[in-house]
A and B are shown apart, each in its own frame.
Chain A
Amino acid sequence: MASVPAQVSTEGGGLATAALCAAVIDDDPHRVRRLVAILETRAGVEPADADLIVLGFDRLGREERDEIARRREDVPGTPLLIVVEQADSKTARDALAAGADALVLNDEAGTSLGPAAQAALAGQISLPHSFGDGFRRPKLSRREKQVLSLVVMGLLNAEIAAKLHVTESTVKSHLTSCFAKLGVRTRSEATALILDPEGGLGLGVLAISTTDDDDDD
């Protein structure tokens, strides 16, 4: 039993057991000190000797995703946690796809890193709640599906407006709503989220059923 932590410390939110140690890997020495303190672990633990690995980043781009994938390959069985200054549901999805077990926002590390570490050690995956949108199947209205399906076809807003007999600003407002539901910022991100051969939502998400809500234009 000693190797598995039975409880989370409510004060520090750390690993709550001296038997576990975490390797914190980060270019920012200030963040390293802070994360080490939060986890109440020893400093300077080598990844190969660690019970879990924490990677700290400013942001999650391609380079960071590659690093996550590389670390995952190096230590396939060790929980891998990401602490990042900024992320959204898309980059959070990408981090998990690259092999991370948890993503914690740096601002929330004080309260969330310990529980996320506990969860990872117990074989669970965790994310900030708001990023879950990237995994839930978005519930789009009939009109939103029509607008989005034309975006996927490569049509411009003016062309979509003409096709659906609505104004361009109506198209824009449907798109804003679609993007929020999909957790993306641009039409190319939306298209990629739907069409991505690995883990994309698929075109089926745009199929219209009789139970879809109608909305007024």
Chain B
Amino acid sequence: MCALCGLLGTERNWSSSMASSLPMRQQRFLRIAQANRILGFFRLTLEDFQGVSYVLSSPTGRREILSDFGQLWPVAETLAARPIDPLDPALLTWLSSIPR
């Protein structure tokens, strides 16, 4: 458990297991913010749920609860009904155009 923010270290995904000087809750919100920059291209939104799960929403109101970040991309592809490819030139153009 993170002594600063009270979050249990329950995530099993490899990308979550990096030691950091930031409190876990802050790392979590940072990751959600970055994921939303990508998901915006597909009109999807990711939110924190009680510090233990995530909620992924589509513009039509479909929502899915994710227990782990490892589930994000397969579920996002289902909600977006299209492949989510980091090599897609249109996605890269979109990311490059977002004001930093």
Are chains A and B native binding partners rather than an unrelated pairing? no
